[in-house]
Structure 1
Amino acid sequence: MSGESTGEEALAKAASATDDLYHLRDTYFPANPDDKTAKLQTQSDLALSLLDSIPPEQRKLPLQRATYEYLRGKILDVFADYRKEAEDHLSKAVKLNPSLADAWLCLGNCIWKKGDLSAAKNCFTLALSKGRNKKIMCQLSMLNRKIAQGTENQAELIEESIQHAKEAITLDVKDGNSWYNLGNACLTSFFVTGAWDHNKLRQSLKAYQNAEKDERMKSNPDLHFNCATVNRYLENYERALTGFETAALKDPGLKAIEEVQKIVNLLDKIDNLLGYARAKRLTSTASSLTAVNFNSSYRTGTIDVLREGMNKGVAIVGKVLFFIKHENVAPLYYVICDSNQTCFILSVYGVRYDAIKEGDQLTVLEPFQRLINLSWKEKIYQFKSIRVDFLEQVLVNGKALSPQQAVHSSIFAQHKPA
């Protein structure tokens, strides 16, 4: 067997060991993160030993040398922190073989870790110029979301992120990671545009559900965590609780159990405040509701006459009894009493927290109603809920809300999918 063939076989074995190393990185989530670091270190040492066992004469050709430098850099870059040694080897690889798209991709990932996002994007763009690749598209999608933070053109960059994720899907419609990236991009878009657009949430949820069809993605705890996050904002509480628990089992480091507790705390507050409100004498509150002049095409009703879902041409008038404080940015929750002394929950998206206050009279146009009915840890939660998505749907004390009372992108810095 020639030295050239032997060298190629040895490099192929090293490449396989590198793939196994990255599979470990993406699927192993112990309770103690230090255990993962230690295991990655052991496996990377073994992969480097295999690479270094290749005699110099079997890796002296330019293409062999480029592959050797690429694999060495990729192995060193498996850790979460930036390593200059990894960047040096990956830089040598692309100099020796500028057509090596995977090396450009790895170099971009490595440079990203040290915070040079512009240089990382250049690497991904160069990788893309060597051929359309779903991995490159996904990384560009992720990087655009990262670059968008704190910039004035957030919405534009997030839209680019969505388009890159969609293009990755066209290259392989069954690839779960591409669907996962699309879900993340749509969820980020929800926050960037003011956390009110339920279409973005539904698009995100559908993408995550498609990602879950890929067996390789079932071990990804971030997928379960982010999908649960979408369900929380869609007020699908039971699905959110189950999703966060699944994420916690797969990666205790995600602190998903804390998210479970936040939802339970919210549900307990809702249950307690509704119980307190129902026990009060609400006759004077209900009788204090005054007539409001609005488009005559709406007919005034109460919560009892609403059907499940959207109620077009209907207006509900009620008094704000309580503002429910909780630990997430959206929606805002209120306990409302209507003219029949019936109490329900109002969830409001895209509106500043100080736009609606306790004691205000609200008129909700075309309310979207749901009956929330779930059981969690032997406790039953059941209540009627009306959702408000648009600023224009609410009159406060007979007056329309102003554009200044809408939430814009300030919450994006606090919330982003993994």
Structure 2
Amino acid sequence: GVTAVPPQERVDPQAANNPDLHLNRATLLQYLERFQAALEGLSRAMTLDPTWEEPRKRHRNLLEFLSRLCGLLENRGKLRGKRRRGLAGPVPLPLLGPLGGPGGPRPSPLPTLRAGNNPQRVVLGRVLFSLAPPGGVPYAVGLQDGGGAVAAVTIYNAGPDWGVHVGDALAVPDPLVTLHQHQHQGQTFSFMGIRVSSPLSLVVNGRRPPGSALAPPCLALSNPCAPPPTPATPTPP
């Protein structure tokens, strides 16, 4: 598989035995879709603090997410018969919407894409299923192109009320591809993934999603240097 090369990490030997450090690092690795390293970090946090439930829960949730994702891709969303046949075959090019026409990106089957960036290309396919882990990030979609190849499209920064439906035509421009190959505790998770940073870059059934498809910004402020509030002095009677 193709994974980003991490910057050099310098960890204090004592901090390396801190379960909080491994949990926080695993959270970042999961966001970067370095799933095997994330699982290993969560396992390490579990070993260092067997009584702490949080890394155990996250480890279980990530394993379940990857297992369900690979199973749904392999089984084409578990669709059967007439419904499955109805999603087979090329998607009409007019459903590229604003991405179509002269000067637009070139429609490309999934097997022609390379790992990494694919500028000036667009994948057009049908939605087979959608899946979200606990917490809703990422929102994952199973996509089947006109030739029957499948990939997982992981969409970040999607609003909680936005989603796609089975059978929708989905166009993904400039696809960022990772060929995932992860092994953990005797399980193997192998699939093509396309990472999308915003739902607003997509085209669904020939149209751009509305602005409400993007998750609202969340601002958190803290000032660890601020002095604690002074208790109010009771007023004498």
TM-score by length of 2: 0.78
- From 7, 15, 20, the equivalent of 1:222 is 20
Distance 1:411 1:267 in 2: 30
Partner of 1:290: 92
Q: Within 5 A, what are the aligned runs for 1:72-83?
A: none
Structure 2 SS opposite 1:345? strand
Partner of 1:271: 70
Q: Do 1:332 and 1:353's aligned partners in 2 also have CA atoms closer than 8 Å?
A: no
Q: Are 2:59 and 1:260 equivalent residues in the alignment?
A: yes
Amino acid at match of 2:69: I
Q: CA deviation at 1:385?
A: 0.8
Closer/same/farther in 2, CA of residues 323 and 247 from structure 1, 3 Å limit: same
Partner of 1:243: 41
Q: Deviations over 1:54-89 (max 9, x none)?
A: xxxxxxxxxxxxxxxxxxxxxxxxxxxxxxxxxxxx
Q: CA deviation at 1:353?
A: 4.3
Q: Do 2:114 and 2:177's aligned partners in 1 also have CA atoms closer than 8 Å?
A: yes
Closer/same/farther in 2, CA of residues 242 and 346 from structure 1, 3 Å limit: same
Structure 2, unmatched stretches of 5+, are 221-237
Partner of 1:355: 162
- From 212, 227, 231, the equivalent of 1:404 is 212
Aligned CA RMSD, in angstroms, stands at 2.4
Structure 1, unmatched stretches of 5+, are 1-201, 413-418
Which shows bigger deviation, 249-258 or 238-247?
Answer: 249-258
Q: Deviations over 1:233-269 (max 9, x none)?
A: 1111110010001111112343212111111101111
Q: CA deviation at 1:224?
A: 0.7
Q: CA deviation at 1:321?
A: 1.1
Closer/same/farther in 2, CA of residues 354 and 338 from structure 1, 3 Å limit: farther
Q: Deviations over 1:279-326 (max 9, x none)?
A: 756553133622124252310001111000111000000111111142
Greater helix share, 1 or 2?
1
Closer/same/farther in 2, CA of residues 290 and 411 from structure 1, 3 Å limit: farther
Identity between Structure 1 and Structure 2 (%): 24
Q: Do 1:366 and 1:393's aligned partners in 2 also have CA atoms closer than 8 Å?
A: no
Partner of 2:128: 321
Distance 1:322 1:391 in 2: 16
Distance 1:284 1:411 in 2: 44
Distance 2:64 2:219 in 1: 22
Distance 2:181 2:105 in 1: 29
Q: Deviations over 1:102-160 (max 9, x none)?
A: xxxxxxxxxxxxxxxxxxxxxxxxxxxxxxxxxxxxxxxxxxxxxxxxxxxxxxxxxxx
Distance 1:301 1:270 in 2: 23
Amino acid at match of 1:271: C
Distance 2:108 2:90 in 1: 16
Greater strand share, 1 or 2?
2
Closer/same/farther in 2, CA of residues 288 and 356 from structure 1, 3 Å limit: farther
Q: CA deviation at 1:403?
A: 2.1
Closer/same/farther in 2, CA of residues 220 and 211 from structure 1, 3 Å limit: farther
Distance 1:274 1:411 in 2: 36
Q: Within 5 A, what are the aligned runs for 1:158-177?
A: none
Q: Are 2:139 and 1:332 equivalent residues in the alignment?
A: yes
Distance 2:45 2:177 in 1: 30
Amino acid at match of 1:372: H
Partner of 2:226: none
Q: Are 2:188 and 1:380 equivalent residues in the alignment?
A: yes
Highest Rg: 1 or 2? 1
Q: Do 2:162 and 2:212's aligned partners in 1 also have CA atoms closer than 8 Å?
A: no
Q: Deviations over 1:323-366 (max 9, x none)?
A: 11421331101111111111211100011244332222111010
Give the total of aligned pairs: 207
Q: Deviations over 1:166-207 (max 9, x none)?
A: xxxxxxxxxxxxxxxxxxxxxxxxxxxxxxxxxxxx9xx75x
